[in-house]
Structure 1
């Protein structure tokens, strides 16, 4: 587990308080399934069988939808909108590539309540797709809230204390999709 930053203050839950833990946690991602350190399924990402392939649904262990991630097809910045549950009227946040040409992937996250008209992001993800690693920061600061690295056939996400795990997992899947060129 990565060293935790003692300067991180309590984070407001982005998706839900039930996904926030007071201690750091590691999650393992294999394919579309996310497990905790005890091997229990925590989340799964589903791709609808019918309809557009530019949509993913993060579900809990009981297959109840937590968020719906939907790619904006006409976006040149690989923009994804994330909605609460399966309600496409209840947007929580937007994720987009910061520029169309990048050597290292940089993705910006804008919460629904962000009034900066995307001049200032709420969270940033930086990483290299080939290494399947990234770090998630608060805004443009150096304050880390999660880190992801490859561990063989899987990804390991270290989520810092008081950070919404469902939010982080959503970002990881979107980051992967953006790096693979969108939906497949």
Structure 2
């Protein structure tokens, strides 16, 4: 069983909320299931307890995904702009898509790219010239990493790819380094999955 090594005085970087930051390495299992009613994703800890749930339809023109806590309370809502060369997503606190609740935006670094890369801009980044975080890799390449500057803060690997014969199931493994917001990382994982699928 995984026993986290707690590090004292680890600075936290909270994007979604302090409740999602731990002073130790966090390993997550992410299970995806697609059915006629929509797409459902569960984010679980090492013991199999559900930490986050993600729901959304599969036939929507303007895609929207909501992340809930285990009690069903909405934490963040992600919405893709209907027409966007860079496949831009806006992430808001709770269920509201009001601009006052904007936390960050995520987009491809350019519309046509050989090496998949996403850029994340926090709502407080007023110039929008330099991204706050980068996601390099893709669902198709079966792994991706999240960076703040040159510092690796999380990495994800596809454990089981979605296949027609697997009844719409797939899974990921994620590792979030000490002090970083796992709900933020989970949202990036969902957006990478949406862009690649």
Q: TM class by shorter-chain length?
A: 0.7 to 0.9
The runs of 5 or more residues in structure 1 that have no matched partner are: none
Greater RCO structure (CA 8 Å; 6+ sep): 1
SS of residue paired to 1:156: strand
**Equivalent residue number for residue 55 of structure 1:** 64
Note the C-alpha offset of 1:49. 8.5
SS of residue paired to 1:175: helix
Deviations 1:116-175 (A, max 9, x none): 2x210000000033232100000xx32000000122342100000000010000011001
Contact 1:125–1:136 (Cα < 8 Å) also in 2: yes
Answer yes or no: is 1:131 the counterpart of 2:141.
Answer: yes
Structure 1: how far apart are the matches of 2:131 and 2:20?
Answer: 22
**Equivalent residue number for residue 179 of structure 1:** 196
Contact 2:29–2:45 (Cα < 8 Å) also in 1: yes
Pairwise mapping of residues 1-184 of structure 1 onto structure 2 (< 5 A)? 10-31=11-32, 32-48=41-57, 54-89=63-98, 90-116=101-127, 118-138=128-148, 141-152=149-160, 153-180=170-197
Structure 2: how far apart are the matches of 1:22 and 1:134?
Answer: 22
Structure 1: how far apart are the matches of 2:44 and 2:144?
Answer: 19
Count of residues in Structure 1 that have an aligned counterpart in Structure 2: 172
SS of residue paired to 2:13: coil
The runs of 5 or more residues in structure 2 that have no matched partner are: 33-40, 161-169
SS of residue paired to 2:125: coil
* Superposed structure 1 runs of 4+ greater than 6 Å apart: none
TM-score, with length taken from structure 2: 0.81
Rg larger in structure: 2
